[in-house]
Chains A and B, each alone.
Chain A
Amino acid sequence: MPDLMPPRRERLEILGEVNSPSFVPWIKRHSGRLGLEASAFSVAPGRIGVTVAGQPDLIDALEVGCLLGPIDVWVSAIDRAPVADLI
């Protein structure tokens, strides 16, 4: 079994036509399926921010999933930045 990388906390800023009411619940659900902790949501026109914590590969997977997202959003870009080490 491969060694797990240390968990990480990152801020994702999801940009585009993202203000459908379905998107935040979708992100929460998808984060949960990936075993990530999602918190501190912020919503502004053309932007959703979320802080996620967990395995780096799974944060990558959340980014990949969000790039497509639900049918009623169009994600043009996702900016990622580390928040702070968990350990």
Chain B
Amino acid sequence: MIDAWYPVGLISGLTREGRETLLMEQPITVRAGKTGKPEVVTADGRSLPIVERFGHVWTSLGTPEKDLFTIPEADHPERVLVDVGVVRVKCSPLRAVENFLDIAHFPFVHTDILGAEPHTEVEKYDVKIREEEDEVWATKVKFFQPQAAKSAEEGITTEYMYRVPSPTSSVLYKTCPPRPGEWDVICLFVQPLTETLCDVWPWMALFDEDTSMTDLIHFQQLIFLQDRSILENQIPARLPLDPGMETPTRADLTSIAYRRWLKQHGYTYGAELVAQ
């Protein structure tokens, strides 16, 4: 995992003084250089590689073999790009991603917003590890939501696609109420501070001309803060790669595919290898 790209700050939040933070337990400083371009340096003065994308500064402690993933849909000029900010969560970075992939919790955690009883059934959907892209994809995911987005005025059956393009990033494509045929793009970029502590940087690329930026940010922060209390109380704190103490079902196939993909690549930072 050391060679993967990780988000470490908002481009819009860079300062000359910089922000001191951690990346996989290594102290780093994220700052604007003399020319205003971002710099990331370790405590011993080593400059780390940088990518500026999706409103964030990305870096790696190792030597990434490939470029950071892209989201072509997010390039549409009419989309509103939303830097949601950062939420610190006392959980494994892998747990944060896995929770984002879990649709079954919507009616119980995001009650009357992203889900509501009795609409709790997760219909059968497709999930696979796409070998060519080396990504996890779940498609044809359908779920009833009372308020699927800030711009939605009534309940609708929302269709989703989930994508995991890197170990601590996930991209959600969902039905766009004001623009049928297009997808809203909602991302969860997770900065692993330690194996059981992370900074979560949600980011969105939406078609929404009516809602203020403040309301869009508040909506997404509300959703994630509802998740945080669940995430911080999960046992074990790390994400199990052996389901021996759990009973995953068909509704959990995206989570299982994500864990299989982590296991296949040896992405074990923040993982529990043996069921306790």
Contacts and interface: CB of A to CB of B under 8 A. Distances in A.
Interface of A: 26, 29-30, 33-34, 57, 60-61, 64-65, 67-71, 74
B244 A30 contact: yes
B273 interface: yes
B195 to A, nearest CB: 16
Given A60-B249, A65-B248, A71 B242 contact: yes
B53 interface: no
| A29, A71, A74 — most chain B CB neighbours (10 Å) | A71
A26 B275 CA distance: 11
B119 interface: no
A64 B241 contact: no
A24 B234 CA distance: 28
B271 to A, nearest CB: 9
A74 B265 CA distance: 11
A70 to B, nearest CB: 5
B274 interface: yes
Interface string B227-242: 0000000000000011
Nearest to B248: A64
A30 B249 CA distance: 13
Contacts of B274: 70-71
Interface residues of B, number: 19
A61 B244 CA distance: 12
Contacts, number: 49
Nearest to B272: A71
Contacts of A65: 243-244, 246-248
18 contacts: A30-B244, A57-B249, A60-B249, A64-B249, A65-B244, A65-B246, A67-B256, A67-B260, A68-B241, A68-B242, A68-B243, A68-B248, A68-B260, A68-B263, A69-B243, A70-B274, A71-B242, A71-B273
A65 B255 CA distance: 11
Contacts of A30: 243-244
B247 A34 contact: yes
Given A57-B250, A68-B260, A69-B243, 20 more contacts: A30-B243, A30-B244, A60-B249, A61-B247, A61-B248, A64-B243, A64-B250, A64-B252, A64-B256, A65-B247, A67-B260, A68-B242, A68-B248, A68-B259, A70-B242, A70-B274, A71-B241, A71-B242, A71-B263, A71-B274
A68 B249 contact: no
A65 B247 CA distance: 7
| A33, A34, A67, A68 — most chain B CB neighbours (10 Å) | A68
Contacts of A74: 263-264
A67 B263 CA distance: 11
B253 interface: yes
Contacts of B247: 33-34, 61, 65
